[in-house]
Structure 1
Amino acid sequence: MTQLHYEKDITALLVVDPYNDFISEGGKIWPRIKAVAEANNCVPHMQQVLTAARDAKLRVFFAMHHRYRPGDYESWTYIAPIQKAAWKRRSFEFGTWGGEFRDEFVPVAGEIVVSEHWCSSGFANTDLDVQLKKHGIHRLIVIGLVAHTCIEATVRFAAELGYDVTVVKDAVADYSDEMMHAALEINMPNYASNIVTAKEIIDALRV
């Protein structure tokens, strides 16, 4: 692989779904991803990459899943299976601890939280694309949850829109090793220019 280099003025870190329900002990979804997340030190690596991006003065964007509210989906004609699951579990319920940012990932001044996505892609029906373009961003470094759903969908959509994308493979997690393998080894290499480790990204951002 060629040496990684990221121009600071056109590169941003995109953090996907750092909710307590996903990545904190006691979260509704944490038990499902805990084994994979702990095996690759996903959450510590996410923290390290976020710190490195901030230290390097990269812009940081947050793409957050829709937080459950009473009445969601009830009048919809069609509901995707992933949305039915979120509805049933009340994932990331608005106004609850599970629907809040984990403390280490609370945005700081100047960082941008885009409008919430309803399914998986951080771009679909949100303002992420226009926010990136307005800030002159062409390249994305992506971390967060879950590899085969929101991460993969966001990476695919980014590629369709012309962004250059890097995925940090040990700063994402999934429900099983098989799902991680499918996302990182089979599907995303078609769309992400680089799939690298947290250490490789951190070293590149220090240059």
Structure 2
Amino acid sequence: MTNLTRNRVEKWLEENTEHGLPVTGFEIEKGRTAVVITDPQVDFLSPEGVAWGAVGESVLENNTVANLEALMNTAVEEEFPLIISPHYYFPTDHNWKFEGTLEKLMHAINMFDRKSALDVEGFEGSGADWLEELKPAINHKDTVICGAHKVYGPENNDLILQLQKLRVDKVILAGMSANLCVESHLRELVEYGFEVSVVADASAAAKVPGLDGMLAALTNYRMIASDIFSTKQIVEQMKNA
């Protein structure tokens, strides 16, 4: 998936500077800053995943896998807290009586399915498993794995608690998918008083006829986050912090 040309997000960041909105900016401070990654899982990021038909084009356009790998490995190497907020569904979740549009799709294609909350049989290599390239950083002894979020935001898992217990108040946010879980995490973190930047090309989103989740996300990131970065930009800043 290596792409030596500018990816889609880098082009967007270069071409969309005349919006007239104030940009707060984001200063990385060791001891106060963590990297949060949503849903770095096979079902989103691999051609073998059940959502690839919807998100694959965007993953390739953004060089998402390589960018996530670079961001997460830098967090480990430079000793920034790395926190994973995953998405899982258990058999009882399929008894829900209603879903939103993408929830309905995820349940229909058995996305992120696990046998149970207390059983990891069949997890290794499944769609709910971590993408192989990202496992070294995720399996690092200091990486925090939160409980599963069930829809898009972190309201139902322990992400906020983990950040507060680490006395972190700044978040570098990335993962899947851009206009759903990443944006929902962004909104909730901002509501809780965290300062948040988004690494937009370490993400991707569904593209279907007439709908482009990545473009929707970029617009909202610019309007909500303190700043938006490419992976190249944020990795350099992390190494110099």
For 1:18, which of 16, 40, 43 is the aligned residue?
A: 40
Q: How far apart in 2 are the matches of 1:169 and 1:35?
A: 15
Q: Residues 205 and 85 (structure 1 numbering): CA distance in 2 closer, same or farther, change over 3 Å?
A: same
Q: Deviations over 1:72-104 (max 9, x none)?
A: 241x34433332222111101213411111122
Say whether 1:127 aligns with 2:148: no
Correspondence for 1:172: 203
Structure 1 unaligned runs (5+)?
none
The alpha-carbon distance between structure 1 residues 3 and 151, as it changes in their structure 2 partners (threshold 3 A), is closer
Structural mapping, 1:135-174, within 5 Å: 135-174=166-205
Q: How far is 1:119 from its partner? A: 0.3
Equivalent pair of 2:26/2:197 in contact (CA under 8 Å): no
Question: 1:144, 1:151 within 8 Å by CA — same for their partners in 2?
Answer: yes
Deviation at 1:70, TM superposition (A): 2.3
Corresponding residue for residue 98 of structure 1: 127
Residues 141-191 of structure 1: CA deviation (Å, up to 9, x unaligned): 111111110011110111111111110111110112832111112x12222
Residue 216 of structure 2 aligns with an amino acid whose one-letter code is A
Cα distance, 1:190–1:93 mapped onto 2, change above 3 Å? same
Instruction: Name the CA distance, whole Å, in 1 between partners of 2:232 and 2:99.
Output: 39
RMSD: 1.7
State the 1:2 CA deviation. Answer: 7.9
For the residue of structure 1 that corresponds to 2:127, the secondary structure is helix
Q: Is the 8 A contact 2:24 2:227 kept in 1?
A: no
Measured after TM superposition, the shift of residue 3 of structure 1 is: 7.4
What is the 5 A alignment of 1:21-100? Answer: 21-66=43-88, 68-74=89-95, 76-94=96-114, 95-96=122-123, 97-100=126-129
Where 2:174 maps in the other structure, the secondary structure is: strand
**TM-score after normalising by structure 2:** 0.79
Percent identity reads 28
Q: Which amino acid aligns with 2:230?
A: T
Q: Aligned to 1:167, what secondary structure does the other structure show?
A: strand
CA deviation string 1:124-145 (max 9, x = no partner): 1111111100011101111111
* Structure 1 pair 130–20 and aligned structure 2 pair: CA distance change class (3 A): same
1:114 corresponds to 2:146: yes
Conservation of the 8 A alpha-carbon contact between 2:25 and 2:227: no
AA of the residue aligned to 1:202:
V
